[in-house]
Amino acid sequence: MIERLCVIGVGLIGGSLARALRAADQVREIVGSSRSADHLQRAVDLGVIDRFDTDPARAVKGADMVFVSVPLGAMGSVFTAIRHSLDDNAVVTDGGSAKSSVVADVRRALGTIPPWFVPGHPIAGTEQSGVEASFPELYQGRRVILTPLPETNRKAVERVRAMWEAVGAVVRQMDVVHHDEVLAATSHLPHVLAFALVESLARMSGQREIFDYAAGGFRDFTRIASSDPVMWRDICLANRDAILAMIERFEEDIAALAGAIRERDAERLLVLFQDAKTARDAFADQQAAKPEEDDR
């Protein structure tokens, strides 16, 4: 049981965790914090949090669990603000999609990695954002990756693991660098490609006609381009090296595909498409028995 949970950043991710813990009867009180009092009042009205404070240093006082769910660009300022206000028994975790960046921010803000900090990343979400989009079932059957550091206290890791398991998540542990490489390939690159395709088509002449004729393939491929632009700007900057490596690799592959089309190499095209279909079908079969993680 969490006596007092403080959620800094009460949007889809933070709000859904609050709702899920309340639904599971695993938290007694939930305090929210963000820059907007109006937004936080809306969270109170929806029953997501019990009370709020726009000052994160005041919001974390008395909390035994703190979840930081703000854009990556704001992580450093949050940890700077709360560093002297945490209770002795408090554990802090986060939901950032690029762990190297968050770890660096914590180290800069505090001068070290404190034993109470457990870096984490729930691989869940939708293309919607805001507390109104939050719902308690978001994490059921979804993976949450924890990336504890050598300085991290083992009991703190266990407490964060227990929190996520209480809301139905499947918790795994991973090295920080490996996490960022995996997410660059499976989440960050697809988002970059979706944003780039929609932007490219929007700039084409006669764009209205193009979108009039867009059907299921366009809708399915570009759904994630409706995601929060601020969050994805921060992810691209925070995980720059791993994302650039994936973009460069993809550029090589798309150049090879363009060459096959240019040269009318039917055999090469067929092999490429068959290999891709086999890999995608195997992934779909693997996911059929469990809920599929959304892109984030």
Strand arrangement of the beta sheet that strand 117-118 belongs to: 51-52, 27-33, 2-8, 65-68, 91-94, 117-118
Q: What tokens appear for 295 in the block? A: 């892109």
The pLDDT of residue 201 is 87
Whole-angstrom distance, CA of residue 61 vs CA of residue 66: 10
The 10s digit of each residue's pLDDT in 155-205 is 999 999 999 999 999 999 999 999 999 999 999 999 999 999 999 888 886
Query: pLDDT grade, residue 56 (50/70/90)?
Result: very high
pLDDT digit string, tens, across residues 11-31: 999 999 999 999 999 999 999
The predicted model gives 78-87 an average pLDDT of: 96
Instruction: Give SS3 for 62.
Output: coil
Could you give the CA distance from residue 261 to residue 255 in angstroms, rounded to a whole number?
Answer: 10
Single-letter code of the amino acid located at 37: A
Q: How confident is the model at residue 293 (pLDDT cuts 50, 70, 90)?
A: very low
Q: What is the amino acid identity at position 146? A: L
Query: Can you tell me the distance from the alpha carbon of 80 to that of 108, in angstroms, rounded to the nearest whole number?
Result: 9
Classify strands 120-122 and 143-146 as parallel, antiparallel or unpaired: antiparallel
Contact 66, 8 (CB under 8 A): yes
Task: Give the domain ranges of the chain.
Answer: 2-174, 178-287
For the chain, the straight-line distance linking the first and the last C-alpha, in angstroms and rounded, comes to: 28
Count Cβ atoms within 10 A of the Cβ of residue 68 and give its class: 0-12 exposed, 13-18 middle, 19 or more buried: buried
Quote the radius of gyration of the chain (alpha carbons, Å). 21
pLDDT at 291: 46
Amino acid at 84: H
The amino acid that residue 292 corresponds to is E
Residue 289 has pLDDT above 60, yes or no: no
Dihedral angle at the C-alpha atoms of 240, 246, 251, 253, nearest 10 degrees?
Answer: 180
Helices (H), 46-130: 56-59, 75-82, 99-110
Q: Backbone phi, then psi, for 258, in 5-degree steps?
A: -60, -40
Angle at 15 between CA 91 and CA 3, to 5 degrees: 40
205-215 per-position pLDDT tens digit: 666 677 777 77
3-state secondary structure of 42: helix
Nearest Cα to Cα of residue 91 among 124, 59, 107, 115: 115
**Domain spanning 178-287: CATH 2.40.30.10:** no
Rounded CA separation 177/239 (Å): 10
| pTM for this model (two decimals) | 0.86
User: Is CATH 3.40.50.720 the right assignment for the domain spanning 2-174?
Assistant: yes
